[in-house]
């Protein structure tokens, strides 16, 4: 969610019980503005918090002119001092997927090969790679996985220009109350997969400037999202059952929307058996 509207946004997304203390909110209000200035970001988003055994990681994302381009990710252990995370790679994600259990809360903590798949360990050793994986690598890979799977925006909030870049839609005034209750009105804010598989006939009714992303209605497994009305029916809240702790909010007929994650960084692999 946008750092500029963080206090109000946290109140709207707090229905699930997670949130920040008044002290943390006050500190973030100042440190995120300094972060934007020091790193020359056009926009800073407060992504959320991953809770570890001995501490928590507070995550922020810095954006440039193209909102769909790779984002700079930073973490803090105290909401004051921020450290830049390395760019994520496919190899990092593959390694992180082999790890299970809680985060420790220490970026320098090393997961030994005993903690990961034996075949992957042999491949890493054969390739001359290190015999351990730092938690910092697992952290950035987990953030990328969550963003790809459940990072969402309302339909029409962003537009794709003829040159291919993505920017905020200045004409977006929010979804109607009827549309806001439909999963088809929300898109994954990442590279589309299902859209590329559609035929020309299926794409005929789509607007290429706004319908350039995958919608939530075809997410697998079906039922991995809950849609609820809160604050007296004035706020639409979506929660992910795949990545427990991800909350998205939108006030219909306004430009107010955003998502935030408060969880332990573990995927709910039991979801298909729970539905």
Query: Could you tell me the pTM of the whole model?
Result: 0.87
Distance CA 118, CA 130 (A): 14
Predicted pLDDT of residue 274: 80
Q: Which of 57 and 195 is assigned the larger pLDDT?
A: 57
Predicted pLDDT of residue 56: 94
Predicted pLDDT of residue 38: 92
> Does the pLDDT value for residue 21 go beyond 90?
no
Q: Which of 68 and 137 is assigned the larger pLDDT?
A: 137
Q: Work out the number of other CB atoms within 10 angstroms of the CB of residue 239.
A: 21
Averaged pLDDT, 43-62: 93
* SS3 annotation, 200-233: CCCCCCCCCCCCCCCEHHHCCCCCCEEEEEECCC
Top-confidence range, 4-8, 137-141, 228-232: 137-141
pLDDT tens, position by position, 108-128: 999 875 555 566 656 655 655
Predicted pLDDT of residue 199: 64
77-91, 127-141, 217-231, 243-257: lowest mean pLDDT where? Answer: 127-141
Pairing of strands 43-51, 257-263: parallel
- For the chain, the average pLDDT equals 86
pLDDT tens, position by position, 261-275: 999 999 998 888 886
Predicted pLDDT of residue 128: 57
50-59, 82-91, 93-102, 125-134: lowest mean pLDDT where? Answer: 125-134
Predicted pLDDT of residue 269: 87
Averaged pLDDT, 148-175: 89
> Does the pLDDT value for residue 237 go beyond 90?
yes
pLDDT tens, position by position, 141-161: 999 999 999 999 999 999 888
Predicted pLDDT of residue 7: 80
Distance CA 117, CA 98 (A): 6
Cα–Cα–Cα angle for 44, 48, 52, rounded to 5 degrees: 135
């Amino acid at each position: 969610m946008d750092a500029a509207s963080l206090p109000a946004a946290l109140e709207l997304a707090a229905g699930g019980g997670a949130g920040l203390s008044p002290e943390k909110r006050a500190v973030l209000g100042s440190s995120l503005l300094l972060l934007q200035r020091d790193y020359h970001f056009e926009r800073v988003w407060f992504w959320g918090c991953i809770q570890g055994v001995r501490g928590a990681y507070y995550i922020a994302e810095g954006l440039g002119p193209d909102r769909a381009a790779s984002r700079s990710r930073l973490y803090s252990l105290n909401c004051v001092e921020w450290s830049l995370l390395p760019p994520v790679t496919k190899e990092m994600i593959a390694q992180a997927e082999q790890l299970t259990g809680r985060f420790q809360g220490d970026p320098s903590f090393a997961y030994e090969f005993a903690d990961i798949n034996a075949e992957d360990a042999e491949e890493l050793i054969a390739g001359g790679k290190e015999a351990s994986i730092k938690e910092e690598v697992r952290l950035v890979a987990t953030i990328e996985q969550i963003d790809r799977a459940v990072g969402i925006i309302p339909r029409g909030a962003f537009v794709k220009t003829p040159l291919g870049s993505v920017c905020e839609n200045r004409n977006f005034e929010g979804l109607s109350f009827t549309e806001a209750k439909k999963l088809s009105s929300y898109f994954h804010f990442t590279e589309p997969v299902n859209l590329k598989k559609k035929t020309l006939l299926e794409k005929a009714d789509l607007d290429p400037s706004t319908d350039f992303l995958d919608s939530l209605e075809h997410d697998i497994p079906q039922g991995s999202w809950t849609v609820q009305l809160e604050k007296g029916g004035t706020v639409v809240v979506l929660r992910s059952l795949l990545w427990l702790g991800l909350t998205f909010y939108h006030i219909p007929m306004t430009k107010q929307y955003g998502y935030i994650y408060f969880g332990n960084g573990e995927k709910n692999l039991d979801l298909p058996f729970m539905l």
